[in-house]
Structure 1
Amino acid sequence: MRTGCDWAIRHCGRIGMLVLVAGLGVSTVQAASLDAALLPRIQAATFEVVQAKPTSDPLSYEKPLPLDLLPYQERTDKYYSIGTAFAIGHNRYITAGHVLLAGVDSLWGQPELRDTAGHVYPIGKIEKFDLRKDFVVFSLAGSPAGATLDVDARPTLNTAVYAVGNALGTGVVIRDGLYTSDTPEQQDGAWKWMRFSAAASPGNSGGPLLDKDGKVIGVVLMKSANENLNYALPIHEVLDAPDGKAVMNTRMAYQLDIFDTLQNGTFKDEFALPVDLADFYRSLQARLAAFGEGQLKALLAKESADLFPNGRNSAILLYEQTKIDGTPKLIVRGSDGKWIRTGFQSRNFALDDSGYVDIAVTGRNALIHISRPDDMDGARFHGDAKLRMDLLAKTGMFQRTVAGEKIKITSLGKPMSEAVHVDRWQRSWKVGVWPLPYANVEVVAYSLPVPDGSAMLLRIVPAANEHDTKLDLDALTDFVNVSYIGNLAQWKEFLRQTALLPPAFRNIHIDFDYGHRFSYASQRISYSLTSDVQKITPRSELWLGFRFFLEGDQPVWDAGLVDLWEDEGSDKNNVDVQRFVEPPSGVDEDLSDKWRKLASHGYPYNGVARNEDGLMKIDAVAAQAGAASPKVLYTAFYGMEGDQPQAFMKGKLGLLMKNLQVREH
């Protein structure tokens, strides 16, 4: 039966509908037994809806899968059982709409019918369909010469009923109960659901609800979320529906993971039937895709006045001190309405040769930083999507459970599709999709090249959700902040691959000569230092802190911090140059207080060294030469371990600031 929103195809997680039947109990009122003489006909007219299991597996595992430990039927059956269908006339069959829609973009075979003898029949033409009422009427390509069920379109309340279905894929099962009541459907009460107490399981979806005479009175679909009753669509709603038409008139809500706002809308459309199953899927998918895209556009338009970085409550992030983010951070609107960065609780996994992976989770998204092993060529890493995902698999992120045992997936193989998405800031994300056929799900990963590896945004989703997932992630990339980190050897290799560089690097020039000098120049600032200030080696680590800020009244994504560390992975001995902008009045008192200290060269920005936990630190402020009351200031910082004399620290700071030139005010 429907679980949450499975039946609504690709909008899983965003559409509020009735909960599907799953593990229900039996009414305490005992219904009469069904006449045994009716059973052969009922069984002959009732079918499993099945999908073919994948015949090949692109995945690699840490060891052979213990498939021999699976139950006999599960390991020998070539099909997955997904629901039930039944015949009501010559080559005329009914099942739940959401059962048929399990085939949309599926990694398994298209839905087919299997009879009690094990014969499998492909679906021929789709004759009627209603997304909201959740039914479909269809024919088979090779119809069995089997029995059909009679219909009673006007059943009587408080009488015995029988739910017939392929309960949990174990064959046709009949369970009894009572037809207890009717209840209006939720959207606008256009019809009434039948409520009944006969037990039902997920495999019952699409099966017939019978009366005591074995006549169909409804189509079993779902259960109540908070009581032990199941729901069926009255069979007259199917019979009375217009022939030759697919109807969509369903309320759906779209949500993006950056705020709680919902975009409610009604997916209302129709197209002509009959068509074959593939054409039906294509027509429905095209309309759903267009609706989803419209919903996202409407949602962002509705929120435009309060959308980062232009909207209200964006100022703190725009004017705060630049932060270095080891993992990418997603910018979201908090419960207080202010925009914040999320994704701080991360797990670290070591790779060979000093490589590592950091993984944080926010909402439905994994935020990942892969630092490639030292012995791995950068051009190969950035050009090989399989290689990147294989490194991620080393964390144990992907596992397959077989007979209760979790088996690590060591490789996802090559992606089934690759593309490039360019976000609002003109950053090019490499988009890859990997199938996990055994589960009918996909891994969708957006990868942004950085000097030491890759920043990633990733989801694992039902295969049917690929389009909507890409729609979401395309939008979310505009709200991802990424720092560019790497040792100088990695930076040298990265800067040579100009196709990987976002446009922000067009105005950034980084140059260095091991053992001698390092220089940085942009449209905003330039400076250089020699080895007299700090050692410059291939293992020196450069952190370029990119962030969002305003250029006049236009938002930009650019570097706000240049931090050079003497040794990779060290938390001592570094120099940095950082940008600060005067915040608007009334935005945040802490920001205003910091600006006043900077503007007045107050402590700790007064050029006097201080000892903090065994590390000597010294800061000074720089502005554009000749600028009166500058709105942009920079700090120059030098830090060194040990208790160093004031003269020594001031001398180092003087060498750092000697060639420091601020080019904006």
Structure 2
Amino acid sequence: MRNMSTLLISLALAISFSFAAVAQEEYSSSQIKKYKNGIFEVVTLKLEDKTVYKEAFPHKLIPFHLRNDKYHSLGTAFLIQDNTFVSAAHVFNIGYKSQLSDNFALRDSKGNIFKITNVEKYSNYRDLIQFSVAGDTSPYHEFKIADAYEEGDVIYAAGNAHGEGVIFRKGTLTSFTYEPIDGKWKNIRFSAAASPGNSGGPLLNLAGKVVGIVTMKSSSENLNYAFPIKEFMEFSSERAEFFESQMGEVESTKTLIYSWDFKADLPKEIMALRKIAEKSFYDRFESGRTEFVAKYETDIFPKHENIQKYLMNQSNSENFSIIDINGNGEWLLFEPGEQKEVKIDNKQSMWFSSNDKMIGGYQFFMEKPVDTSLQAFIKNKKNILDTFLTSVKWNMTIAATPVYITSYGEPVYEDNYEDNYGRFWQVAAWHDQYTDRGIMIYCLPTPQGIVCDFITTSTSWLEMQKKNYRINLPRIMLSYTAKLGEWEEFLQLPKEMIPTFLQDAKLDVSEDSVEFDVGAFSGTMKKMKLSVDSNFYVAVEISPENTDKLVVGHISFKPNLYEDGVYSISKLYDLKNNASDSYSDFWQKFTTGTSPYNFEVINEGKTINKYMNLGANGKSPKIVGKRKDDRGYLATCTLQSDVELAEFTSACDAFINGLH
């Protein structure tokens, strides 16, 4: 019996020791309460949402704790000593603009707010930040730093998961892995679950000591990452470290990858640090562009060896199009895709499309309202954007429900920027306070209204896009078409709205004639049935002799918009060795006045046509000028085939003879 009693006692002790071992791997209720008292939310005040929605904003679709909180929850921080906290750098994203960055604070579990003051350690490369707060933190738990940790250790990831309060989730320290850029240290991988909001929280061992700072969640498996606390302790507090390894310039199939490496003295007030880091970042972007141009100047526009071939045979478009090179080294004008028309009302329309070569997601042309002057319409950027938003049914998604936006209010930024061609871009930007995003339009006035590129981006990249867009302006092309009456109003705009190559243009429409002087083209048109409602098209091209200059390369008159019939002049070049076989054949016939370029009547079915080389026929000396060896001017008359031949001949002769 004695032996049996001894055995039972031994078994009982073994079982109790086993349960004790298990218990040691679980936090007790008192531990959780204790540790929770040292973990805070990183928050920032919500902004006043100035967006106007088509219908009342559906607040009920947003979870209760989010819609009733006056703060945004950004992440987690934990206390390590008096008034001193640690978190992940990406929670604050110092170095990049944000609408939410002016009011960073910490909030405890009872809702008490502590304003963040000075940054004492910072590295976006290592994803760490140490900072101080204003206020008394003595009632809160201060976390101790673990002396050692190894694979297989039981750990807890603690943090403000999904912004719904601090929770603790158990797992294992599974391994250590080199940081991906230079392998300067090994990050911790752990198996405890992590959610958005956990960033910056402590990774704790069973003793409640800090092993690491939670930094990143794995997207494909439940192996998450933390920055080792040993590395944090060894990192210098003397200077903040900013580093980006993947900045780059991409243009015309050429790429330059460069890095941003900046350091700033610490400690420093958080907003002061943000301001100097932002400036350094944008300065690096500009210097990166300078490096790119120095390396690839002869491989990009406008100094590429093949650019002259394009400049002497340019395409045109009445919507924003961009000059770029294809994989075969040929320069082309990349035009937008299919345009969709939206009727704003019975007397105003908008057309929008997309061109994946442009920066913006949409390009749109908007007619001015009939009861508004062109100048007033161009100046009212709020109305332009509001009309666009309403027309395309612009929306954001809340709980899988589209919420339609009708206005972002008045612009937060406006500019009138002159590019190297002398075009005056109308620029405006807005903030979407709800999503911390920026909206920007880059526009050019036209005789009919305005053409714009519509851009959306994060607030942090809005400033970058302003700079980036200006780099691309020389490759963005736009030609103009409008009724003669609309042209008259356009040419009367203030000079800061009219491109320099059109500022001296003249257009006078009277009852029986049209007198014009646009670029190199001028004349007096009579007996052609032209009126204020007739269409006048001006094709804009880059001068082959001076790539910083735009010129008028083609004009045409269309007496009646609803009938086939046009009178035009095009400037053409001898492409020499760059010419295709068909162009060489055309050029030989064109310069020698061979049919059909001898002004004979050509019946092409639905239309009848006449073609003339103005120089070869001694017509329009002002237009043709003295250079006739490498260029020519093609005059074309086209009318419907059912027009009497005598009427056609009379109108075409009036056009040719009216040219100066």
TM-score above 0.5, yes or no = yes
The 8 Å contact of residues 248 and 269 in structure 1, kept in 2 or not, is answered as yes
Which of the residues 580, 585, 597 maps onto 2:577? 585
Which of the residues 565, 578, 595 maps onto 2:587? 595
Offset at residue 384 of structure 1 (A):
1.7
Aligned equivalents of 2:74 and 2:404: distance in 1? 27
Letter in 1 for 2:539: G
Letter in 1 for 2:289: L
Counterpart mapping for 1:369-448 below 5 A:
369-396=365-392, 398-448=394-444
3-state SS in 1 of match to 2:333: strand
Aligned equivalents of 1:556 and 1:598: distance in 2? 27
Q: Which residue of 2 aligns with 1:349?
A: 342
2:639 aligned with 1:640, yes or no?
yes
Query: Is the alpha carbon distance of 1:403 and 1:293 closer, same or farther for their aligned partners in structure 2, counting shifts above 3 Å?
Result: same
Aligned equivalents of 2:47 and 2:273: distance in 1? 22
2:495 aligned with 1:496, yes or no?
no
Counterpart mapping for 1:263-662 below 5 A:
263-323=256-316, 325-345=317-337, 346-363=339-356, 364-365=359-360, 366-396=362-392, 398-499=394-495, 500-506=497-503, 508-522=504-518, 524-530=520-526, 532-533=527-528, 535-551=529-545, 554-568=547-561, 570=562, 572-586=564-578, 588-602=580-594, 604-612=596-604, 614-623=606-615, 624=621, 630-644=629-643, 646-661=645-660
Offset at residue 115 of structure 1 (A):
1.2
Offset at residue 187 of structure 1 (A):
2.1
Query: Is the alpha carbon distance of 1:228 and 1:586 closer, same or farther for their aligned partners in structure 2, counting shifts above 3 Å?
Result: farther
Q: Which residue of 1 aligns with 2:173?
A: 179
Which of the residues 135, 149, 154 maps onto 1:155? 149
Aligned equivalents of 2:224 and 2:161: distance in 1? 14
Query: Is the alpha carbon distance of 1:139 and 1:593 closer, same or farther for their aligned partners in structure 2, counting shifts above 3 Å?
Result: farther
Residue deviations 1:224-244, cap 9 Å, x none?
A: 565542221111221111113
Q: Give identity over the alignment, percent.
A: 25
2:193 aligned with 1:199, yes or no?
yes
3-state SS in 2 of match to 1:351: strand
Counterpart mapping for 1:72-221 below 5 A:
72-101=64-93, 104-108=96-100, 109-145=102-138, 146-221=140-215
Aligned equivalents of 1:141 and 1:612: distance in 2? 84
Query: Is the alpha carbon distance of 1:501 and 1:391 closer, same or farther for their aligned partners in structure 2, counting shifts above 3 Å?
Result: same
Aligned equivalents of 1:629 and 1:210: distance in 2? 83
3-state SS in 1 of match to 2:226: strand
Aligned equivalents of 1:178 and 1:597: distance in 2? 83
2:235 aligned with 1:238, yes or no?
no
Offset at residue 306 of structure 1 (A):
1.8
Aligned equivalents of 1:482 and 1:165: distance in 2? 53
Residue deviations 1:8-64, cap 9 Å, x none?
A: xxxxxxxxxxxxxxxxxxxxxxx9544444211221111111121113x33222222
Letter in 1 for 2:236: P
Query: Is the alpha carbon distance of 1:180 and 1:305 closer, same or farther for their aligned partners in structure 2, counting shifts above 3 Å?
Result: same
Q: Which runs of 5+ in 1 are unaligned?
A: 1-30
Provide the alpha-carbon RMSD of the alignment: 2.5
2:67 aligned with 1:67, yes or no?
no
Query: Is the alpha carbon distance of 1:427 and 1:321 closer, same or farther for their aligned partners in structure 2, counting shifts above 3 Å?
Result: closer
Query: Is the alpha carbon distance of 1:352 and 1:523 closer, same or farther for their aligned partners in structure 2, counting shifts above 3 Å?
Result: closer
Query: Is the alpha carbon distance of 1:591 and 1:143 closer, same or farther for their aligned partners in structure 2, counting shifts above 3 Å?
Result: farther
Offset at residue 262 of structure 1 (A):
3.0
**Structure with the greater relative contact order (CA < 8 A, sep ≥ 6): 1 or 2?**
1
Of stretches 94-103 and 297-306 in structure 1, the one that deviates more from structure 2 is 94-103
Letter in 2 for 1:433: A
- What is the count of residue pairs matched by the alignment? 623
3-state SS in 2 of match to 1:466: helix
The 8 Å contact of residues 157 and 194 in structure 2, kept in 1 or not, is answered as yes
3-state SS in 2 of match to 1:388: helix
Letter in 2 for 1:209: L
Query: Is the alpha carbon distance of 1:198 and 1:342 closer, same or farther for their aligned partners in structure 2, counting shifts above 3 Å?
Result: farther
Offset at residue 403 of structure 1 (A):
4.1
Residue deviations 1:365-416, cap 9 Å, x none?
A: 1322222222222121122221222222232353233443323222222101
Q: Which residue of 1 aligns with 2:244?
A: 250
The 8 Å contact of residues 161 and 179 in structure 1, kept in 2 or not, is answered as yes
Aligned equivalents of 2:287 and 2:63: distance in 1? 46
Letter in 2 for 1:141: A
Offset at residue 293 of structure 1 (A):
1.1
Letter in 2 for 1:67: H
Letter in 2 for 1:136: I
Q: Which residue of 1 aligns with 2:5?
A: none
Letter in 1 for 2:91: V
Letter in 2 for 1:245: R
Of stretches 88-97 and 345-354 in structure 1, the one that deviates more from structure 2 is 345-354
Residue deviations 1:416-470, cap 9 Å, x none?
A: 1112222121211122111111111111111211111112123111111121111
Residue deviations 1:240-269, cap 9 Å, x none?
A: 11113111243132234x434332222122
Choose 1 or 2 for highest CA Rg. Answer: 2
The 8 Å contact of residues 609 and 649 in structure 1, kept in 2 or not, is answered as no
Query: Is the alpha carbon distance of 1:605 and 1:60 closer, same or farther for their aligned partners in structure 2, counting shifts above 3 Å?
Result: farther
The 8 Å contact of residues 95 and 275 in structure 2, kept in 1 or not, is answered as no
Letter in 1 for 2:327: S
TM-score with structure 1 length normalisation? Answer: 0.88
Query: Is the alpha carbon distance of 1:64 and 1:554 closer, same or farther for their aligned partners in structure 2, counting shifts above 3 Å?
Result: closer
Query: Is the alpha carbon distance of 1:291 and 1:37 closer, same or farther for their aligned partners in structure 2, counting shifts above 3 Å?
Result: same
Offset at residue 340 of structure 1 (A):
2.4
The 8 Å contact of residues 48 and 115 in structure 1, kept in 2 or not, is answered as yes
The 8 Å contact of residues 487 and 507 in structure 2, kept in 1 or not, is answered as no
Letter in 1 for 2:254: T
TM-score with structure 2 length normalisation? Answer: 0.89
Q: Which residue of 2 aligns with 1:15?
A: none
3-state SS in 2 of match to 1:155: coil
The 8 Å contact of residues 547 and 558 in structure 1, kept in 2 or not, is answered as yes
The 8 Å contact of residues 327 and 358 in structure 1, kept in 2 or not, is answered as no
The 8 Å contact of residues 176 and 186 in structure 2, kept in 1 or not, is answered as yes
Letter in 2 for 1:113: L
Runs of 4+ that moved beyond 6 A: none
Query: Is the alpha carbon distance of 1:635 and 1:81 closer, same or farther for their aligned partners in structure 2, counting shifts above 3 Å?
Result: same
The 8 Å contact of residues 67 and 402 in structure 1, kept in 2 or not, is answered as no
Query: Is the alpha carbon distance of 1:78 and 1:542 closer, same or farther for their aligned partners in structure 2, counting shifts above 3 Å?
Result: same
Query: Is the alpha carbon distance of 1:259 and 1:148 closer, same or farther for their aligned partners in structure 2, counting shifts above 3 Å?
Result: farther
Offset at residue 308 of structure 1 (A):
1.8
The 8 Å contact of residues 135 and 238 in structure 1, kept in 2 or not, is answered as yes
Letter in 2 for 1:560: G
Query: Is the alpha carbon distance of 1:626 and 1:451 closer, same or farther for their aligned partners in structure 2, counting shifts above 3 Å?
Result: closer
Offset at residue 475 of structure 1 (A):
1.0
Q: Which runs of 5+ in 2 are unaligned?
A: 1-23, 616-620
Letter in 1 for 2:50: P
Q: Which residue of 2 aligns with 1:43?
A: 36
